[in-house]
Structure 1
């Protein structure tokens, strides 16, 4: 499997990583271990989780994903596995996580990291990510910045200094951003240089046929500043698999958790999904092969984080890596994108 070095670091990861946010909600511990084993045997060494997983986040299940990954990780050669996790941020109703003290100040970050290390049963994480910004910013389907939602936040200088200390202590090898904006990325890079703190090596943002917003200002930043994109939701919450076209009540997060997929219920999303599915059909491809084949081959993507609830889905996702989209198909993708630009940002 192809590999990529993240940012200006020495951290090399497989071009496909396994996302784990279903572990503990839709997948049992045994099923989680089966997926992890299958991915490892297929050549994947990059596994991404988060403090707040599984999703939808609930007090009864939060932390189970890291625990399931941890019980698997303790049986592996630790230095051959790249483990990424994310610290929960403020601004959302998640009061059961650290009693709701979610600001990115030194004490909260340290507490969150220790909790993740304990659940993961490891002494360090390879990539520690800020799950979303501490500050007021539109995320998870939000589009417009709203100044009226401004609130007091932890200065970025304190957050970066704490992350630098974690790295010096050997508890974190590298750190990254997630769900970030161009302003946020450039500000963090400037402050990291000024403070003498290691730069982030990656940004984990949504990227798919339904959301190519990275290709605006962020792709230039990624290229010029050597900052790697970790693409999540490459199948657009499963919509791009085409299963909901075949059966609107098909099993999946969209139907299992009503309202959870609001990001993908916006105007033009269904039409775009149908157009891409028809394009795939005309060229003898599955919708999954088209959607993942597109993301896997993009120059701006360092690693694509796939997720599944069954081994059959995981196998199909990995098989898509063998698909090479033709210039004709890619040209038609661009025509659809012009007609339905980023319907699910």
Structure 2
């Protein structure tokens, strides 16, 4: 496995598996809309050189926007990298199974033992590989409080017995894929503490693959994970793969003072998925001030802070330019002082849940 020419990046295990990945993970959701294949391939090559060998994707990518025409395009771009000579052994690859409501795939069918084999085959075909290191369920069939749904979240509406039976059935299908050699580990995304514990219990009942990781949103501005999910992660060895650690670019400071850079995510999604609020820019200012006073790049501070969290497995970052990628890669070399960490805590108390 390539260790990187630039630096020795910390490595962490995926749950209780024997798989180790870099503590920073290259996200790919812009490849196919904001980035073309060549740009995506250049990002892969640069990340590998820097010791980042973990790449995350999904069958529904790219985003901004998600459309019937682009579904699967990001996986195909990664597959092209392998076709053009990229070594599969150099990369730990994660992808995701879309679920209920995603009308562009399988007519919006929920995740089930019936959908798993065909979905994995589709990803393998597009990715031009015969195995996936980490196979994740993109969101629960019963719904989720992620993506600002926490403000009106209602957990009623699902039969717990049916939920558990679906989990058992899905783990049976996943175990068959493990036996075939098509997947190595299983992860969840956009899940709750209750849901995670149910999946863990189902693995005990069925002997199916145990949840190794959780991919939920987490950043200085979005810290829903800090309570029940944090405890579940630590005690059950289910590490977090944090997505949107830069809060869709807000924490870089590029959107302050009403700025909307051309080609930026805000130029395509004006409210950044509900993250743009009356409170958020004051919160960003507080973190930018900490970074400035301590001579830190705000992007690197935000990513390095995520890596300090006790439940963190790997922090997923994305880039739409080489310059952005270089800045993010530098976070691997940043160690935050106790003074900086204390000031971040003060800022968080002053600006809790800014969106």
Q: Which residue of 1 aligns with 2:99?
A: 89
Count of residues in correspondence between the two structures = 340
The 2-side partners of 1:185 and 1:148 are apart by 17
Which of the residues 69, 73, 81 maps onto 1:64?
73
Aligned-pair CA distance for 1:267: 4.5
- 1:15-35 per-residue CA deviation (whole Å, 9 max, x = no partner) reads 111000000000001111111
Which of the residues 8, 11, 14 maps onto 1:6?
14
The 1-side partners of 2:247 and 2:277 are apart by 12
Say whether residues 1:214 and 2:225 are aligned partners: yes
Q: Which residue of 1 aligns with 2:58?
A: 50
Aligned-pair CA distance for 1:257: 2.5
Name stretches of at least 5 consecutive residues in structure 2 with no aligned partner. Answer: 1-8
The 2-side partners of 1:45 and 1:102 are apart by 32
CA separation of 1:191 and 1:150: change in aligned 2, threshold 3 A: closer
State how 1:1-345 maps to structure 2 within 5 Å: 1-55=9-63, 56-74=65-83, 75-91=85-101, 94-98=102-106, 100-143=107-150, 144-147=152-155, 150=158, 155-245=166-256, 248-251=259-262, 252-259=264-271, 261-344=272-355
Q: TM-score, normalised by structure 1?
A: 0.94
Out of 37-46 and 76-85, give the one that drifted further: 76-85
Query: Where has structure 1 moved over 6 Å in runs of 4 or more?
Result: 151-154
The 2-side partners of 1:34 and 1:136 are apart by 36
The 2-side partners of 1:111 and 1:267 are apart by 44
- 1:215-272 per-residue CA deviation (whole Å, 9 max, x = no partner) reads 101111111111111111110000000000155221311122334x133124522221
The 2-side partners of 1:263 and 1:192 are apart by 35
Out of 129-138 and 47-56, give the one that drifted further: 129-138
Aligned-pair CA distance for 1:147: 4.6
The 2-side partners of 1:87 and 1:148 are apart by 24
Contact 1:136/1:149 (8 A) holds in 2: no
Contact 1:136/1:150 (8 A) holds in 2: no
Q: TM-score, normalised by structure 2?
A: 0.91
The 2-side partners of 1:110 and 1:258 are apart by 37
Name stretches of at least 5 consecutive residues in structure 1 with no aligned partner. Answer: none
Aligned-pair CA distance for 1:291: 1.1
Aligned-pair CA distance for 1:111: 1.4
Q: Which residue of 1 aligns with 2:6?
A: none
The 2-side partners of 1:169 and 1:265 are apart by 45
Contact 1:132/1:139 (8 A) holds in 2: no
Secondary structure at 1:201 match in 2:
strand
Secondary structure at 1:83 match in 2:
strand
Q: CA RMSD in A?
A: 1.7
